[in-house]
Structure 1
């Protein structure tokens, strides 16, 4: 996943990624790499360090043969 902080010249561009359920998918907190672990649905979030703004992306993990 990729997050862009606006304005582009904001002093603090730091964000943290998280997931609603690590039993379904893990996400690297800095890089935003989402990896499915089990079949199901959840949400991935990114939150700015400065200002606490959050964006949410819904994800679906399916079985490998689907």
Structure 2
């Protein structure tokens, strides 16, 4: 990915009939990548490793997506 490229993550809440399907996304290092809290749209800021965490609105469950940002030429 080049700087400012984007990708969107999708969180799937299980069970599918859970009353609250809402999740919030966050970045472990916003100098490497940012993420929109509701949509999960990740934007590369710089090369490096970052974790994007999806947390259920009720706080009961989390999932982590580890991303390694390398130069676009690699």
Which TM-score applies when normalising by structure 2? 0.83
Name the counterpart of 1:63: 71
Q: Distance in 2 between matches of 1:5 and 1:34?
A: 19
Per the TM alignment, residue 52 of structure 1 is displaced from its structure 2 partner at its CA by 2.6
Q: Which runs of 5+ in 1 are unaligned?
A: none
Alignment of 1:1-66 (within 5 A): 1-66=9-74
TM-aligned CA deviation for residue 10 of structure 1 = 0.8
Aligned-partner Cα distance in 2 for 1:60–1:53: 23
State the superposition RMSD in angstroms: 1.0
The number of equivalent residue pairs is 66
Q: Distance in 1 between matches of 2:40 and 2:32?
A: 15
Which consecutive residues of structure 2, in runs of 5 or more, have no partner in the other structure? 1-8
